[in-house]
Amino acid sequence: MTKQVKQLDRVIIRFAGDSGDGMQLTGDRFTQETASFGNDLSTLPNFPAEIRAPQGTLPGVSSFQVHFADHDILTPGDAPDVLVAMNPAALRANLGDLPKGATIVVDSHDFTSRNLSKAGYTENPLETDALAEFAVHSYDLTDMTVEAVKEFGLSRKDAGRAKNMFALGLVSWMYGRPTEPTVTFLERRFAKAPDIRDANVTAFRAGWYFGETTEAFVVQYEVKPAPMPPGVYRNITGNLALAYGLVAGSTQSGLPLFLGSYPITPASDILHELSKHKRFGVTTFQAEDEIAGIGAALGASFAGSLGVTTTSGPGIALKSETIGLAVMTELPLVVVDVQRGGPSTGLPTKTEQADLLQAMFGRNGESPVPIVAPRSPADCFDAAVEAARIAVTYRTPVMLLSDGMLANGSEPWRIPEVEDLPRIEPGFATEPNHQTTNAKGETVEEFWPYLRDEDTLARPWAVPGTKGLEHRIGGLEKGDGHGNISYDPTNHDFMVRTRQAKVDRIAESLPPLEVDDPSGKARVLVLGWGSTYGPIGAAVRRARTAGLEVAQVHLRHLNPFPQDLGDILKSYDAVMVPEMNLGQLSMLLRARYLVDVVGYNYVRGLPLKAAELASAITDLVEATTGETPSSVSDGHQAPAAVKESVR
């Protein structure tokens, strides 16, 4: 039968099922198909902290959202246009996010009274008018899968497991996705289990044919490839990009990478990834605890490696003392914090930006640490290289603040040319740097470990094995220059100021901020950092589409702030700072620049919603300028935004 083909400019699909249903894999495969098709895309996995939460329950629901478009997009999307629900719990858990008119593809197999009640349904929503506002396609996908793969002789249970591939095949048909990448993937993944491989491939194809042949699906949608700058692309998650960035930091500095780490969600994937790259001279040390992870990394830095430790917020709390030691000993160290919901164990698998002040101040004494934050999954690569540059150049620990949304989210990445990557110069000390006269009046060559470079204020890095430069470092206060223990009050004051001045000097090496203010007439600035880049960018676009003038600036460096930030802030009448915390950057900006910024703060464990933020931006522009926009609606219903000032 002939099907109608309808053009769309963008679609948001959410795959949802039980954590055992393989929804992450399904979403990931759909993403890969979409990436290779050439759409721009952005993804958001969302899964429970429990490995296998009780089957069929709301807490056990795992989902994967992918937003793809024929144009450049910035976020995984606020509300899905299509929900694929594999059981009653998945339907119930996600229904609230769907706008009116959304499409629901549902596997009716598990809509039994037992499973319905596990999900909290008293009536079967497929049989009432509960879903009347939506376009529902309800089929027993499990039975169709079992039927399709029966020739492989699998048990009913094993056969039913391929239902996620059936659903993937169906949705792939609906959106005209290429199938070869998934077939190749399945063949590779299950090469050792031919019956499972064949069942999955067959289920995937059967899903596709089901879409093509059944009359239920009359429309196939097409989302054209997005124009993108020329180059070679791949889809990449933040954790993967961050791991690659660390490898690049190592190759570009010529320093062997040493990762000391203790497993923690959502940072462990960086440890897993780096452990595969020993051919780059990467050592990965899975330590006995967070403290040993960073301790070993610092020991490796002392030995002349690029020491790195990776963790999430609770791990940073444990590493604080060693970060202080790195500040005092002035050794390079990259500390990666993939932020998650806190405090304490908090929300391990959810995202948050609430470790900024911990990164900034979470140590005893005056203990300045540079902070770098990536703004999108692919940007984790550049941010990691930048963190390595600062650490090595300035002999300092550097905090790299990623978050759960960046870690697991993905987007297309234009792969850089290796020769375009920055070079990082370790500039090891090789010779004595100071002369004194001994008792006999002879000149003696000495090595002073705390004599500083005039430009960067960095101290010399002399690694063990370098003849004549034997020296001792440690956590006790150092005398200026010679570096011996000093309890002298004036020296301490001087050293405290010098360590701060060294970190402040980093600002001299930063490029000017990019101010996105197309007309140059905006009076309101939206300033953000980290993963809110996507939602802020999308919200600013909406506001502009509605005719408002809004400027946007996004910070990569949170400490020190770029030199031009103060002037930029003061050149706008109002500054809004959206954050997934209660106003941590706001607090720093107010303290530093005395600018009365307006916070926009949600701490829901999820990315900010662009529609809500757009509406808050609109309110602020109206309040500042008296302008009223035509409309900021995008067809999705935006819940009332909460605009909060700083706590």
Partner 1 sequence: MTTESLPFPGLQHVPATEVPQTGKDFSSDQEVRWCPGCGDYAVLKAVQSFLPDLGLRRENIVFISGIGCSSRFPYYLDTYGMHSIHGRAPAIATGLATARDDLSVWVVTGDGDALSIGGNHLIHALRRNVNMTILLFNNRIYGLTKGQYSPTSELGKVTKSTPMGSLDNPFNPVSLALGAEGTFVARTVDSDRKHLTAVLSAAAAHRGTSFVEIYQNCPIFNDGAFDAVKDNDTKADALIPLVHGEPIRFGAPGEDGLGAKGVVRDPATGGLRIAEVAEVGADAVLVHDAHADDPTTAFALSRLTDPGHLHKAPIGIFRQVDHVSYDDQARGQITTARAGHEDTALELDALLHSGDTWTVA
Q: Which class for 627: exposed (0-12), middle (13-18), buried (19 or more C-beta within 10 A)?
A: middle
Q: Which is nearer to partner 1, 473 or 496 (CB)?
A: 473
Nearest in space to 93 (alpha carbons), one of 11, 15, 163: 15
Q: In this structure, what DSSP letter does residue 226 have?
A: P
In whole angstroms, the minimum distance from the beta carbon of 327 to partner 1 comes to: 12
Least Å distance, CB 122 to partner 1, is 45
**Closest by CA position to 542, among listed 623, 609, 495:** 609
Pick 36 or 509: Cβ nearer partner 1: 36
The Cα–Cα gap between 13 and 4 comes to 20
Find the shortest distance in angstroms from Cβ 32 to partner 1. 5
CB 82 within 8 A of CB 44: no
Contact 281, 304 (CB under 8 A): no
CB-nearer residue toward partner 1: 242 or 300: 300
Shortest gap between Cβ of 449 and partner 1 (angstroms)? 10
Closest to partner 1 by CB, 346 or 426: 426
Element spanning 300, H or E: helix 290-302
Angstrom distance (rounded) from CA 58 to CA 413: 34
d(C-alpha 112, C-alpha 91), whole Å? 14
Closest CB to partner 1 among residues 36, 124: 36
Is the CB of 328 or the CB of 555 nearer to partner 1? 328
Between 476 and 642, CB nearer to partner 1: 476
Tokens encoding 487 = 């309890």
Contact residues for partner 1 (CB under 8 A)? Answer: 32, 35-36, 38, 181, 228-235, 244, 247-248, 251, 256, 258, 260, 277-283, 285, 287-289, 291-292, 295-305, 307, 321-322, 324-325, 329, 415-416, 418-419, 464-476, 484-485
**Torsion angle, alpha carbons of 562, 566, 567, 569, to 10:** 110
Minimum CB–partner distance for residue 110 and partner 1 (Å): 32
Instruction: Judge contact between 363 and 323, C-beta under 8 A.
Output: yes
**Centroid of chain to Cα 55:** 29
Question: DSSP assignment, residue 79?
Answer: S
The C-alpha atoms of residue 255 and residue 249 are separated, in whole angstroms, by 8
146: its two tokens: 């079992």
Closest contact distance (angstroms) between CB of 531 and partner 1 is 22
State the DSSP code for 197.
Answer: H
Q: How far is the CB of 278 from partner 1 (least distance, A)?
A: 4
The nearer residue to partner 1, 143 or 446, going by C-beta atoms, is 446
To partner 1, the closest distance from the beta carbon of 9 in angstroms equals 18
In terms of CB distance, is 19 or 43 closer to partner 1?
Answer: 43
DSSP string, 345-371: T-BTTS---TTHHHHHH-SSSS----E
Least distance between partner 1 and beta carbon 50 (Å): 27
